């Protein structure tokens, strides 16, 4: 069964202290790997879609990378407004549209 | 360009009651998916609708049902509510050919 695991569960960073979040997946037929940001009580906000190993995408202080079994979300020089829960999800080639989510990494950035 | 909209934003029900949640997809999107998110967990897939038919279903009982209308909007119905149905219910939309789903703000359901 497809499983998505995120680590760490929680991360506390000082402003400007770069770090990486990990997302591992078990499925072999990957149609896409997705990163979302979620603020408390809100719906997930789309960040990136990655389709194949070696692909990288960037947006402001965030950079997502993909290998055959993992994806990383790098946060460079974070600011307090980057505080949120970051969710990753995969979509398999034999699925119509079921996103399989991890439990998320809660990031807190302090000034 | 309006994003995905959901109504109501909050809802309180008692055990055994029935509830209907509504979703309007992003402009240009024809596929709608529903997810349930319990506190502290990632969203869990309930089902997806395309061309007014349920195309894929997650591991949820028949108490959860849905509908898609010709204008692509969708409803999620939950019968015989249980305390464990308390959660944030999320709607996501996408164009059929695309993999990326865009989420609405959610409906917070509390079952007492």
Alpha-carbon distance of A75 to A11, in angstroms, equals 11
Condensed to tens digits (0 to 9), the pLDDT of residues B89-109 reads: 999 999 987 889 999 999 999
In this prediction, residues B5-24 reach a mean pLDDT of: 98
Contact assessment for residue A19 and residue A12, using Cβ atoms and an 8 Å cutoff: no
| Residue A1, pLDDT score | 77
Q: Using CB atoms, which residue from B48, B92, B100 is nearest to A96?
A: B48
Residue to test with chain A: of B26, B32, B49, B99, most A Cβ within 10 A = B99
Peptide bond into B8 cis (omega under 30): yes
pLDDT score, position B76: 98
Sign for the pseudo-dihedral over CA of A34, A61, A65, B41: negative
Find, in chain B, the residue whose alpha carbon is nearest to that of A43: B105
State whether residue B84 sits within 8 Å of chain A by CB: no
What pLDDT, on the 0 to 100 scale, is given for residue A103?
Answer: 97
pLDDT of res. B9: 97
Cβ A97–B35 below 8 Å, yes or no? Answer: no
Q: How far is A80 from chain B (nearest CA, A)?
A: 21
What confidence tens digit (pLDDT) does each residue in A11-62 have?
A: 999 999 999 999 999 988 899 999 999 999 999 999 999 999 999 999 999 9
Mean pLDDT within B25-36? 96
Cα B27 to Cα B49: distance, rounded to the nearest angstrom: 16
Supply φ then ψ for residue A87, to 5 degrees: -110, 140
Q: Which of residues 63-82 of B touch A (CB under 8 A)?
A: none
Rounded average pLDDT over B39-61 = 95
Phi, psi of A18 (to 5 degrees): -70, 150
Mean pLDDT for chain B overall = 96
pLDDT at B6: 98
Residue A14: which residues within 8 A CB-CB, separation 6 or more?
A: A109, A110
Both structure tokens of A48: 């990136």
Chain B contact probe: residue of A46, A96, A100 with most B CBs at under 10 A? A96
Instruction: Tell me the pLDDT tens digit for each residue of A67-78.
Output: 999 999 999 999
CB-CB neighbors (< 8 A) of B101 in chain A = 34, 46, 97, 99
pLDDT for position A28? 82
**pLDDT for position A9:** 97
Q: How much of chain A, in percent, has pLDDT values that exceed 70?
A: 100
Nearest residue to B103 via CA among A36, A23, A105, A92: A36
């Amino acid at each position: 069964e497809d499983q998505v695991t995120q680590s760490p569960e929680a991360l506390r960073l000082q402003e400007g202290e770069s770090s990486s979040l990990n997302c591992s997946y078990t499925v072999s037929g990957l149609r896409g790997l997705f990163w979302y940001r979620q603020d408390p009580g809100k719906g997930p906000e789309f960040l990136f879609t990655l389709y194949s190993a070696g692909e990288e995408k960037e947006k402001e202080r965030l950079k997502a990378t993909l290998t055959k079994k993992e994806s990383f979300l790098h946060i460079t020089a974070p600011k307090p407004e980057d505080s949120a829960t970051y969710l990753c999800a995969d979509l398999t080639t034999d699925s119509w549209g079921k996103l399989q989510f991890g439990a998320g990494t809660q990031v807190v950035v302090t000034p | 360009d309006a994003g995905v909209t959901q109504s109501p934003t909050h809802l309180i029900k008692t055990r055994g009651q029935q509830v209907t949640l509504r979703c309007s997809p992003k402009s240009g999107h024809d596929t709608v998916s529903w997810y349930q998110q319990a506190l502290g967990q990632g969203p869990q897939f309930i089902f997806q609708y395309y061309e007014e038919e349920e195309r894929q279903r997650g591991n949820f009982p028949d108490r959860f049902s849905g509908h898609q209308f010709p204008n692509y909007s969708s409803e999620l119905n939950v019968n015989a509510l249980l305390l464990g149905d308390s959660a944030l219910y999320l709607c996501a939309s996408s164009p059929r050919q695309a993999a990326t789903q865009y989420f609405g703000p959610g409906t917070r359901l509390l079952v007492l």
